[in-house]
Amino acid sequence: MRKYSVSDSELISLYKNGNEEAFADLVNRHRNKIFTTVYMIVKDQYLAEDLLQETYIKVVNTIKTGRYNEEGKFLPWVTRIAHNLAIDHFRKAKRYPTIVMEDGSNVFNSLDFSEDSIESQKIKEDTHALLRDLIKELPDTQKEVLMMRHYMEMSFQEIAEATGVSINTALGRMRYALINLKKKMTKLNIAYDKNLYPK
Amino acid sequence: MIKTFTQNDLLRYIYQETTKEENTELETAVIFDDDLSNDLSELKQTVLALDGVEKSPSKFCIEKILDYSKTYQAHAVN
């Protein structure tokens, strides 16, 4: 949803020419969305960080050896790699992968931690954990579209193609996901608060 | 004449998948249609809440990724 003055493609071009700052911008720009996708699968901060690093080793190797294909968008490409690695992790562990959210544990966001008091940070984290639980309760088809559109930043057309449905069905699923989420939030009295959702 | 918009149109608008012309039409329609305006506001708030759900990797994790890239040649040679 955010617009940047320098596009991902431009950053990748700079990176191909040896500009490591451009790569840092690219990594920092998308770190939360990619990390969240992995985290929602593995539900473990440290494992998710390992998988994020593994993802970027593949990304760096692909770009630095000139094998990066500009046809697709960067974020969906990286997120797919991360998603596949997370699923592979479960396959190796002989477990069945499903997109699930954290169980309410309080792992503080280390990057933003210093900006808030411990108490307000705790309230934020608890609220966000509750929201993750609410997303977890959504029907699979709605949860899938929500993850693909919001965190993987795939367009509704791309989601329709990937899931074999019409664009209107994809839009409808997303709409119902948001309506259901809103109902659950209202029921639990989770009011919208700009301090909780600062972006 | 003000065009009619569906909830799906509002979603496409929020996720910036509408054209410039559609944006102008929708933004005009919202001024005159309170229901549409309320629907848009509610959807926006829920979408905004999704951003709060995002988790962040540690600074150390990001530094390791950036270090790998900076020292790529060393890895490649080995």
Within-domain flag for A1 = no
CA nearest to B62, candidates A22, A79, A63, A27: A27
Q: Which residue of A has its CA nearest to B48?
A: A197
Query: Alpha carbon of A49 to those of A27, A82, A161, B58: distances in Å?
Result: 13, 11, 30, 8
Which residues does chain A have within 8 Å of residue B51's beta carbon, measured at their own beta carbons?
197, 199
User: Is the pTM above the cut of 0.95?
Assistant: no
Domains of chain B, by residue range, sit at 7-77
SS3 state of residue A17:
coil
Do A108 and A156 lie in one domain? The reply is yes
Q: Which residue of A has its CA nearest to B65?
A: A53
Structural domain including A114 reads: 104-199
CA nearest to B33, candidates B69, B2, B64: B2
Tens of pLDDT, residues A38-71: 887 787 889 999 999 999 999 999 999 988 886 7
Tens of pLDDT, residues B38-76: 999 989 988 888 887 788 999 999 999 999 999 987 776
Query: Alpha carbon of B16 to those of A34, A153, B10, B13: distances in Å?
Result: 20, 11, 10, 5
Contact (Cβ atoms closer than 8 angstroms) between residue A115 and residue A124: no
Do A93 and A112 lie in one domain? The reply is no
ipTM higher than threshold 0.90: no
CB contact under 8 A, A150 and B17: no
Disruptive mutation site among A153, A197, A199 for chain B (greatest number of B CBs within 10 Å)? A197
Contact (Cβ atoms closer than 8 angstroms) between residue A40 and residue A71: no
Sign of CA dihedral B67, B69, B74, B78: positive
* Last residue within a domain, chosen from A57, A79, A98: A98
Sign of CA dihedral B39, B41, B42, B43: positive
Closest-CA distance, A194 to chain B, in angstroms, reads 9
Do A116 and A88 lie in one domain? The reply is no
Do A54 and A108 lie in one domain? The reply is no
User: What is the residue-averaged pLDDT of chain A?
Assistant: 79
SS3 state of residue B20:
helix
